[in-house]
Structure 1
Amino acid sequence: MAQTRTRLTHAQLAELARHAFGLSPTPPDLPADTDFEDAEGVLVASTGTDGLAVREIPRWRSPAEVRAELDRRGWAQPAAWVGRPPEDAGGLPDRLLVLLPVAGTAPDAAEISLTAAAWAQRAGGRELMVVPVPVTAAGPEIGWPELATAYGAGPVASRVEPDPLSTGGRVVVFTGLSGAGKSTIAGRLVELLLEAGRTVTLLDGDEVRTHLSAGLGFSRADRDTNVRRIGWVAAQIAKHGGWAVCAPIAPYAATRAEVRQLVEAQAGPGSFVLVHVATPLEECEARDRKGLYAKARRGEIAEFTGISDPYEEPTDAELTIDTRRSSVDESARLVLDYLTGS
């Protein structure tokens, strides 16, 4: 019987690397009789009758490889530093092994390169070796001293737990019924962000349907595919520090959660902002400029959200807006204030 083949997420690859490197005694929970590949299609591990077999994990350097590199350099247990460089690097030792906890982020995430570049700028003649490691900054799976020891370093120069890496990119997703005002508020928000000098991309639901999701219908599977495509594009923008504003109906909670996870894996915690435009159904029907609700009521449009297909109201939205109580400009500025911390 042929092995099933599946692609692992960045978080799953990090978990696999931790176990393979001896940084975690717990193996990842993976299905049996399966071949696993990374985002580039490289076969990294398999499960079979003999259990889990790890082949290679291209992104991560194992502790053994790093220790061997330290030996080649003639470094005997250099001091370790975890995370970003300090503002004042004056008191740092002459040789430093920098460990970047970046589990769950994409290998080409901009923040990894930016952090390495920041270290190079502040090195001040010091010898540095910067190594991404498959642990998370906010909740490390292994203590920093133990991590440093595994990679061949001596005492940790910094015991301050670093903040999770973030690219600075943001994704704002407006969700709500058809006619709720999502696209109008999203468009005004983009104007305000541009006025503030921010580079931003608008992914409007109708325009995405015309281009990125042409050919999809309105079944649950097609709706989910449409929202996932929007989320993927937005995550790529945020991964490289850009901002994206999206305005799909996005009726299903599980798919919205999936997009949140995707974006935050690429751009860091807090990079995804969900805005529920909570205009009631009766108000949306009253606005019905396109006559869509009337057609749905007559049965001329199947699987219409709010009429013949469910809308699962968010319980995890960062902001909720009722357009009966705030104008388009007021609504957009509420979101802007949230994004800028005003």
Structure 2
Amino acid sequence: MMPLLNIKQSWAQIRAVIRLEMRKTFFAKRGLWVYALALGPVALYLVHSIDMLRDRDRRQALAAAHPASTETLHSITRGMTRDEVVAALGEPYTPPEVFHRRSHERAVYRYTDGEADYSFTFFDDELVGIGRRERCNLTQDSLIFATVFQFYFLRLAIFFGCVGIFMNLFRGEMVDKSLHFYLLAPMRREVLLLGKYLAGLIATVVIFTTSTALQLWTMSLHFDARVIDDYLRGPGWSHVAGYMGVTALACLGYGSVFLAAGLLFRNPIIPAAIALVWESANLFLPAALKKISVIFYLQSLCPVVAPPGKDMPPPLALLISAAEPTPAVVAVTGLLVVTLVVLLMASMQARKLEINYGAE
């Protein structure tokens, strides 16, 4: 009977700690920058969607004023004369760009069918080049989202968000000289640690999964409803669930690491810098060392794999080492085990926690 009462009492204390910490975690002035990290990509995708909507309206207006069918545009071939192209398509929607060099003339004529922009380059009245610029499609935007998610959102936004929230759960109270109120309460240190961890986990999961959902929504604003419906009927919902799940697991893993770091280190910058370098270098580590990091398992769970940047210098590209993605079950289990081990180590440190405000 006594163990059952102890469990009930412990959970009541954990819930009390969570209630106290939630207000401080969500509304602490020192943590407002976390919202900027989370909402930064949302603002970028919103600007992108607005720009794409304006570009679509522009193309449709130009196509209405200067109609040119897609079939006719595709029928134009190199070697045709300028008069033949104009006879088939009409006048371009903007005055031709004409360049003279010595005794030669180069002209660019621009057309649109409302969906794509076409440019026809003439050299001395002969068509020598055909350019086509399509609107952004969902496949391209999905790859862009995967790249931003894996190289910015996971590695920087969630990483530093967890640094700011979880390290301050104990270290912030030491700086504010308020931790002794908890330590004087009739509560086991492990219960206090678990309550603080769960409060930080709830806060980061709410903030960053909301950001992930808003990113996906703002990214899709400029697509037709039919395109979005087709995507959701296909892999769409599994992609959404995958990104949301990876976001929550990132908060789970990084949160435990930085909660422990806040207990072990007086200066949180040092462990955060070491962890940042290690996680950032994961791309170049040997396959065996890749697995000693949180980001490796998170990337294995991402629905779309983001390739390394095409603009990466060749010497760095040669250093990239490939490793087989970890199966989802193994990746999730591994992250949970690491989290439990780190929390166990942190609870052992919490038992020995002593306050010396003068040293802070």
What TM-score do the two structures reach when normalised by structure 2?
Answer: 0.23
Asked which structure has the greater CA Rg, the reply is 2
More helix by share: 2
What TM-score do the two structures reach when normalised by structure 1?
Answer: 0.24
